[in-house]
Structure 1
């Protein structure tokens, strides 16, 4: 980042602390409405998403997908010779993609909007002032948008043996020959599959009894089967008890939690993995420890900033948005929260944040997308009125044509066909889920989606076919009798 503009001696309408998605959207939105805005960033604008998260990870996943297609070329009738993968070329291409997107978050672009971009680490010195490198900025409103980072569990020997997280993955020039991934959530699973497709021997270690525990279980299980088919070793219900350095490699000791497999000694229950490197993907930690929140009177819980429904902290003129609140840790949610903050911070008409319809997607192949409730969650809340309707992507013409006939759509509905949740395992599931999200937001019932014309042949037909299955399930009782009567009348009429 270049040198910041001189911040004039005045009180800003709003100061955003943190130059990731939440801070950038707050700054741009506020400046566009005519507010005086300062944006403070200690490193580089763009945050985790641009530099170490969404952008480079999807670029790496894209390279890995092509590598997979090359290996599977025979199924497309193509005789492509097996290609050697050059790690330096792959990772260089990932950084090239990042460089192409970087201008979207260039400091000069925001300065041109009228935002004072301030370089340095901010620290509250009072509820109404922050200090950056000895300079103090006052504001009527503040937004804490400092994000989160990879959490590193206190595993004996891990620090000494060495490890990396997603934050370091894309600035390396090597792809490990073998890898232990600690954590079976979205980051761990995405990178596990990408590395495997690029030639790495991968083992995923997950404490819980299955991967992707926030997802619809049957779809998560299908994805787990796919990962195993690709050669990824998966050890669920295991914790890493120790990591040791053995020359240039690591010895990772794993075992069931202490409560499992009683009657066997720790030594009997343990197993070891000999790998070149360890990737830690075991959750997130908030970036709040150096902000001086005590001086501002801002309350936290476990380091995460606590907010109300209007995204106000315990100090009502100080807001928080994005990962730092510990809610939905997604870029698109940070954007959504920042837009709500802009309204509540600058205008007298206030709004509560709406989390009722928040889609997300894990960018494996196939992708796994989710919005709303799982079937179990829906039954817990709504009881026997809940039903679930499923369509296997393997029956879809487009999936067969693409040699991608693996996946499932599952839509959970309540009384009258109201959509309570949608879950898709399919190529482009992240795009397909938008249709279900919009239906939920607009109150469109599942039966209505059956009458929506979808282009043929597309993956989106999977949603329509699921809606068809729902509509067929309603043809019981008096409805079935009415259909039978209409058919009899139709047969009796003259042609």
Structure 2
């Protein structure tokens, strides 16, 4: 038995940072990782996919060169170089994390699969470890939907997409949400024919209907076929390719393609940790149940990142680390419910989101003020020749509290941050209307949108 002050399972976004804080406080820490340091974000998520998005954007802009008075000639994709660039980004990031951990005094890094033996004991292969505190940071993985024929055809997920060696002739994306739409636009710009199949009535169902409609318009303008309301989805082989059968209100009943990407959600990596031996409770979907401090049903065991169901993003995983460290090391009481929902959809142009959607705000029963402005009326967007999308902001009419914002447009993922900061400061929306922003930027229109808000029924 090897004894430590703390054991961390998983070297994703929260684990290594917590290890750094704990070892700096003089504690002995074991960090266990069964695959790649850096987790999903570094290896198969944010960093490699956004590197590919950047390549796709470069191709798209090159094709539009004539719009800017630039003669480019025929634009060709060197997919090998695209993927090599992606690999350099992720491998450099992974090595940076590995080097950081290797130089961390007080840390024992162990490769292998961790399983509980008891509330204070973990087994990794033949080794048994014990600690008074255990932190789970085990992440999640793609869901394979239980559609007829899914086991009969080859299919891709967000991990295997990173290993493609050629551009698919016709990529069928099953799932019209964030991951699926990013890959759909990316590969359309690389030269694939792309069809998106979504079971629901519209894309990105958690967004407001006007946002969903605008995103669909953006994608269809680039030649991406969208099939919503796709009931009775089934898979089958078709010659050298694959097929997807759908029952939609419009369109053909079968879609034939060369590749299928399943982008229908994710699940936590909690089913093979031996949580029952530790008495750690999970919900019906397998997410570890945690309180406001991210402590599980067992005192001394905490869960951070995707596996706790309290956020599915790199930034929420890192914030989980900050909450745990603040409570355990800084005597600073912090809780998950203080976190304001924020995220982005990285199609081009991107969608930046903060706080409530309009639908959520209306359900709250508050009297609302809502302001909108199309990106076609934003000077910076006109100058860049990127005028698709719109801004929408929402506030409480009585308290002047900012409730939420959606910025679908060039720079929207960055511009929304200024609204988010005012929300965290607890200041009224008039704080923004009185601000002076730099011209010409996208952000300079944010005070105008807030100033033009109107009451809604």
Q: What is the TM-score normalised by the length of structure 2?
A: 0.95
Aligned counterpart for 1:279 among listed residues 232, 239, 261: 261
Deviation at 1:201?
0.6
Deviations along 1:43-73, whole A, 9 cap, x unmatched?
A: 1101111111101110110000011011111
Against the structure 1 CA distance between its residues 346 and 447, is the aligned structure 2 distance closer, same or farther, given a 3 Å change threshold? closer
Q: How many residues align?
A: 452
Matched, 1:47 2:39: yes
Matched, 1:354 2:346: no
Contiguous gaps of at least 5 residues in structure 1: 1-8, 262-267, 475-495
Matched, 1:438 2:430: no
* Contact in 2 for aligned 1:359/1:433 (Cα 8 Å): no
Deviation at 1:239?
3.5
CA RMSD in angstroms comes to 1.8
* Contact in 2 for aligned 1:29/1:339 (Cα 8 Å): no
Mapped to 2, the partners of 1:219 and 1:282 lie a distance apart of 20
Deviation at 1:363?
0.7
Matched, 1:162 2:158: no
Deviation at 1:350?
4.3
* Contact in 2 for aligned 1:122/1:132 (Cα 8 Å): yes
Kindly report which structure 2 residues correspond to 1:390-429, keeping only aligned pairs within 5 A, or say none.
Answer: 390-414=372-396, 415-429=398-412
Mapped to 2, the partners of 1:34 and 1:339 lie a distance apart of 18
Deviation at 1:269?
9.3
Shifted more, 269-278 versus 301-310: the winner is: 269-278
SS in 2 for 1:161: coil
Against the structure 1 CA distance between its residues 350 and 461, is the aligned structure 2 distance closer, same or farther, given a 3 Å change threshold? closer
> What does residue 111 of structure 2 align with?
119
Deviation at 1:406?
1.6
Deviation at 1:354?
3.4
* Contact in 2 for aligned 1:205/1:240 (Cα 8 Å): no
Deviations along 1:392-419, whole A, 9 cap, x unmatched?
A: 2111111101001122111100023210
Q: What is the TM-score normalised by the length of structure 1?
A: 0.88
Against the structure 1 CA distance between its residues 362 and 147, is the aligned structure 2 distance closer, same or farther, given a 3 Å change threshold? same
Max Rg structure: 1
Mapped to 1, the partners of 2:161 and 2:269 lie a distance apart of 20
* Contact in 1 for aligned 2:387/2:410 (Cα 8 Å): no
Contiguous gaps of at least 5 residues in structure 2: none
Deviations along 1:133-180, whole A, 9 cap, x unmatched?
A: 111111111111100001010122222211001111112211101011
Matched, 1:101 2:93: yes
* Contact in 1 for aligned 2:341/2:356 (Cα 8 Å): no
Aligned counterpart for 1:379 among listed residues 338, 357, 362: 362
More helix by share: 1
Mapped to 2, the partners of 1:349 and 1:370 lie a distance apart of 28
Shifted more, 146-155 versus 90-99: the winner is: 90-99
Aligned counterpart for 1:77 among listed residues 65, 69, 73: 69
> What does residue 62 of structure 1 align with?
54
